[in-house]
Amino acid sequence: MKKQFNRMRQLANQTVGRAEKTEVLSEDLLQVEKRLELVKQVSHSTHKKLTACLQGQQGVDVDKKSKKLPLTTLAQCMVEGAAVLGDESLLGKMLKLCGETQDKLAQELIMFELTIERDVVEPLNDLSEMEIPNIQKQRKHLAKLVLDMDSARTRISYRRTCTVLWPKKLTMQATFRRYVPERPGRRKRNFRDFSSHSCRSVLGS
């Protein structure tokens, strides 16, 4: 809870210009970061349209993909028709030849779609659904760490400023507290309370 409060306070100070913001990424990486969301959208859209263009079913082996392919069904129908008519008829010979040709075309189409899935579809899906979201997640984590570092640096600078401005007074106050008893009903203030109060009075915060 305290860390989150320090982050919010540091972020507010950086927003109004009261605190410096550390940039850990180079200019080129910042430009790449701005285009990440666009690359994610384009990759997702291309993957969706390309998947719709494939005729075979995705994620299955060659045999199951072949059975679901329209060209395979057409080739099987032609071969069966040629068997019914017989090799003696001209139509039977033509159907047999066309059926064998269609079957070869179906096999080539299956191999082509398998190559497209392996080399294009799957990498696009990994890019849009895994790699870019992981990069964005790590970027948010890095931003939190940088904010924590800036917050710690601000607090250290604040304490150093107090030490430089009030070294003797702080020492006298601490010594005075050792020998002078507290009044009844008065809240006891330690050295840290006095240091923070004095610094806030001087810095106007």
Environment class of 10 (CB within 10 Å of its CB; exposed 0-12, middle 13-18, buried 19+): buried
For position 179, what pLDDT does the model report? 45
> SS3 for 13-80, per residue?
HHHCCCCCCCCCCCHHHHHHHHHHHHHHHHHHHHHHHHHHHCCCCCCCCHHHHHHHCHHHHHHHHHHH
Q: Are 21 and 7 in contact (CB under 8 A)?
A: no
Question: 3.40.50.720, 1.10.10.10, 1.20.1330.10, 1.20.1270.60: which CATH number matches 1-166?
Answer: 1.20.1270.60
Q: How far apart are CA 160 and CA 195, in angstroms?
A: 11
User: What is the tens place of the pLDDT at every residue in 153-205?
Assistant: 777 776 777 766 655 554 555 454 544 455 555 555 444 444 444 444 434 44
The residue ranges of every structural domain in the chain are 1-166
- Band (97; pLDDT cuts 50, 70, 90): very high
Enter the pTM of the model: 0.58
Residue 78: CB atoms within 10 Å = 20
Judge whether residue 10 has pLDDT over 80: no
